Structure 1
């Protein structure tokens, strides 16, 4: 994640025979960033979302200041890009892994006509915030209530039964996953035959890049993020039994406008946040959309 603040139980999945179990302990840095520091309140983000944004759909942004409305639109558009990879989503059941405040879940219901959406997050504070932010949907009128739910749980141990969702997506969360193989296996388990997966976030381009990134970007050094290598992530999805795995780099629509937005902010607390553009331009990392099918 960019521009950090200063340092400072769910039921087990029905598909597992050992029954109820809470999510594994989160790394201390993750606990603080998404707990007491509430990353969604940091100026680098806006509107309650927590992602770098996809800016390619914003018209005429070259040569003019970028506004907070542009920033929110970029964050929403990243969700639209991911959800747009699903063919005929209408009426289907979706799971968002790493849902944060649940604003992307609400967008998915509102704009993609999904039948229901489950938001999963490993941090209990985020689940609380998601329920508060989406109270109207959770307790809405007949025909709307029951279409949205938020569940506490870890990506590598999803507290849902086998074959229970049609679509699974994750927006800028997989860089936190310590056990990507576990996440891939769980995704394959909970997806119905013919279901689809879409994951977007930033990954290292090579193993050498993964070794260098902690020297450039503090989140890799302090335990917040993991420098997963994109080709290894794709191979992990294949090994879990997912098929038709595709990797699409989208950094040309992410890094430069995001860095320009940061440059406009008054005295950013963490000046290193602008090193993401450097990492991209020097070939160390990029932003990707990975898609795959189940069954």
Structure 2
């Protein structure tokens, strides 16, 4: 299957998953196909990525940025704009465990991608044992080759709906901008509850369509084992991060320039990257050139995920 076909099928699946009123969008066979497509998309992303590339929409909050800079002096000056990391910092800070108290505790990130976010968390909460899991074999290969550090930081390939861990094995589960790709949200949440230790925490940040948010809120009351203790709409901070990232002269634009894209293709690559990393959510508009290319059929008309909000939820495993 060609790359455009894979991306088209992936986009179609995402829209269907996030438009359904139930927790399970697909049949077993369709679910398997969607996961294969998702894995292929992120395999391609891992193969074509470089250090310092972006891995989520990110957020910007000056208070958070200052706290990170105090923990890691010089942070944001090399290979990153710090915007993606702010989501990770926010996710872990919401867990009522001090950063200095992670010795002997286990942290699992489900949907870790190329592992940069979990690597960042391992730096601010030293002493813990951090494991990243992702569906993409290529992403895990890359993370293992470039970031893994024995028991401190390791990466495994696996399915979010069938976590390869024992019951009550994990202290904290993190899930950031990933679950909107899962065909069966209820099954994922059940797996999170299963692998968490009693009293363990689940910190979840993701994009939400109106329907997907309804599904999660329904599941909160239906699934046993998890008590939901926090919900925050991060949309303003996420939009601020996206706009800061897409501003002229930003780290994002410098990284694009380094890739030496041909002049005629540069506006297309810039536009596509902006869309992938939340531009539409933050109010990004097509330029006249992009509109012309759509009209001529050079670019597809496109159907973007109708994101209603970007939210953070925290749950604790019932003791």
Aligned pairs for 1:129-168 within 5 A: 129-135=142-148, 137-138=149-150, 146-168=151-173
Distance of 1:177 and 1:118 partners within structure 2: 20
SS in 2 for 1:31: helix
Cα deviation digits, residues 148-190 of structure 1 (max 9, x gap): 2212111110010000001101111111111100011000100
Q: Which residue of 2 aligns with 1:90?
A: 102
Q: Which residue of 2 aligns with 1:223?
A: none
Q: Which residue of 2 aligns with 1:200?
A: 205
SS in 2 for 1:151: strand
The 1:272–1:107 alpha-carbon spacing in structure 2 relative to 1, beyond 3 Å, is closer
Q: Pick one of 258, 273, 289 that aligns with 2:312.
A: 289
Count how many residue pairs are aligned between Structure 1 and Structure 2. Answer: 234
Distance of 1:171 and 1:234 partners within structure 2: 18
Q: Which residue of 2 aligns with 1:251?
A: 235
Q: Which residue of 2 aligns with 1:217?
A: none
> Which structure has the larger Rg over C-alpha atoms?
2
Distance of 1:261 and 1:149 partners within structure 2: 29
Q: In the alignment, is the contact (CA less than 8 A) between 2:115 and 2:147 conserved in 1?
A: yes
- 1:78 is aligned to 2:87: yes
Cα offset, 1:36, TM superposition: 2.3
Cα deviation digits, residues 48-75 of structure 1 (max 9, x gap): 441111111347xxxxxxx996963111
The 1:149–1:25 alpha-carbon spacing in structure 2 relative to 1, beyond 3 Å, is farther
SS in 2 for 1:183: helix
SS in 2 for 1:131: helix
- Unaligned stretches of 5+ residues in structure 1: 9-22, 60-66, 139-145, 208-228
The 1:38–1:195 alpha-carbon spacing in structure 2 relative to 1, beyond 3 Å, is same
SS in 2 for 1:119: strand
Q: TM-score, normalised by structure 1?
A: 0.70
SS in 2 for 1:162: coil
Q: In the alignment, is the contact (CA less than 8 A) between 2:81 and 2:245 conserved in 1?
A: no
The 1:290–1:114 alpha-carbon spacing in structure 2 relative to 1, beyond 3 Å, is farther
SS in 2 for 1:230: helix
Q: In the alignment, is the contact (CA less than 8 A) between 2:52 and 2:79 conserved in 1?
A: no
SS in 1 for 2:280: helix
Q: Which residue of 1 aligns with 2:40?
A: 32
Cα offset, 1:263, TM superposition: 5.0
- Unaligned stretches of 5+ residues in structure 2: 7-30, 67-75, 254-265, 285-305
Q: TM-score, normalised by structure 2?
A: 0.65
Q: In the alignment, is the contact (CA less than 8 A) between 2:220 and 2:228 conserved in 1?
A: no
SS in 2 for 1:170: strand
The 1:198–1:251 alpha-carbon spacing in structure 2 relative to 1, beyond 3 Å, is same
Q: In the alignment, is the contact (CA less than 8 A) between 1:94 and 1:114 conserved in 2?
A: no
